Amino acid sequence: MSNASTRVSSFAFIDFYFPATSNHVKSFKERSVKTQRSCMILFAITVTAALAVPARSQGQNPRESSQTTQTASAKPTGDRPEGVNPPAKVGKDYVIGADDVLDVSVWKEQELTRTLQVRPDGKISMPLLGDVQAAGLTPGQLGQSVSEKLKKFLTAPQVTVILTQINSQRVYITGEVTRPGAYPVLPGMTILQAITSAGGLTQFANAKKIFLMRDENHIQTKYPFSYKEVLDGRKAGENLPVKAGDTIVVP
């Protein structure tokens, strides 16, 4: 008897004498087929979904991806570096002094473009050039000076100098004001504006005996300032423009 005939006789024997067992075997086979079919369908769905979803960077979620795109599009496209300070409000005739901060920009030369603070000796240090005199010059004059020196190394260099912080031109306010100290001299600043920058007078200030001290040809000159009379216009002439190095005393 062949092996096939033996298997058929065995199944016929089980069906005849053990019908319950036969049904159980058939049910198990049907469930196995259904399970295999379900697994195949699930696998196909998973593969399709994986191919449809665009690849992402490892560990990056959609929100991070969106933020990265927005940040990249917001970056400036010019030749100037990021983080450059805005220019200080000064006139073209402003004379650079020690401790002033300058933005020196050389067009298309990022290695030479940088922010520099004027040293106490009045000089700044630049690549290729070394020490360059800055104090005593206007920003425009300094730009021309740097440009001329760079012609030894570059073809037609274009240099721009922008003053970003005024630290050399200061007026000193002492006595009965809210915040005594040194303050930058802004263009056109008067005694009244300087006092306002210091937070104004305290309740103990003697408004009638305020005065300004100024060094004129190595001689200390005293200028009176009547606070209330300047405010009401009776002595507007006492509201003098302040200069670098002036000291305002509020008794």
Q: What does the block give as tokens for 22?
A: 């036969």
Q: In what order do the strands lie in the sheet with 159-165?
A: 114-117, 101-106, 159-165
Q: Which amino acid is at 26?
A: K
Where a domain ends, among 165, 182, 212?
Answer: 165
Q: How far is CA 197 from the centre of its chain?
A: 26
Which helix (H) or strand (E) element contains residue 65? helix 62-74
CA 3, CA 10: separation in Å to the nearest integer?
11
Residue written as tokens 């024997």? Answer: 13
**19-31 tens-digit pLDDT:** 544 454 455 555 5
- Residue 62 in any domain: the answer is no
Domain of 48, in residue numbers: 3-52
**Same domain assignment for residues 132 and 152:** yes
- Residue 182 in any domain: the answer is yes
Where a domain ends, among 130, 165, 200?
Answer: 165
- Residue 63 in any domain: the answer is no
Per-residue pLDDT, averaged over 31-53, amounts to: 57
Looking at residue 158, which CATH number applies to its domain? 3.30.1950.10
- Compute φ and ψ for 164, nearest 5 degrees: -105, -25
Give buried/exposed letters for 21-36 (b at 16+ CB in 10 A, else e): ebeeeeeeeeeeeeee
Average predicted confidence (pLDDT) for the chain: 77
SS3 244: coil
**Same domain assignment for residues 198 and 146:** no
**146-162 tens-digit pLDDT:** 999 999 999 999 999 99
**46-98 tens-digit pLDDT:** 655 555 544 444 444 444 444 433 333 223 333 444 445 666 666 678 889 98
CA 163, CA 135: separation in Å to the nearest integer?
12
- Residue 57 in any domain: the answer is no
CA 225, CA 191: separation in Å to the nearest integer?
8
- Residue 190 in any domain: the answer is yes
Domain count, the chain: 3
- Residue 85 in any domain: the answer is no
CA 156, CA 149: separation in Å to the nearest integer?
11
**Same domain assignment for residues 178 and 109:** no
**185-195 tens-digit pLDDT:** 888 899 999 99
Weakest-pLDDT range from 79-88, 218-227, 236-245: 79-88
* Whole-number pLDDT of residue 60: 47
* Whole-number pLDDT of residue 132: 95
CA 76, CA 72: separation in Å to the nearest integer?
9
Q: Which amino acid is at 155?
A: T
- Residue 15 in any domain: the answer is yes
**124-137 tens-digit pLDDT:** 999 999 999 999 99
* Whole-number pLDDT of residue 225: 97
Whether 33 shows a pLDDT value over 70: the answer reads no
- Residue 231 in any domain: the answer is yes
**Same domain assignment for residues 107 and 134:** yes
How sure is the predictor about 168, in pLDDT bands with cuts at 50, 70 and 90?
Answer: confident
Looking at residue 232, which CATH number applies to its domain? 3.10.560.10
Query: Which residues face 250 on adjacent strands?
Result: 175
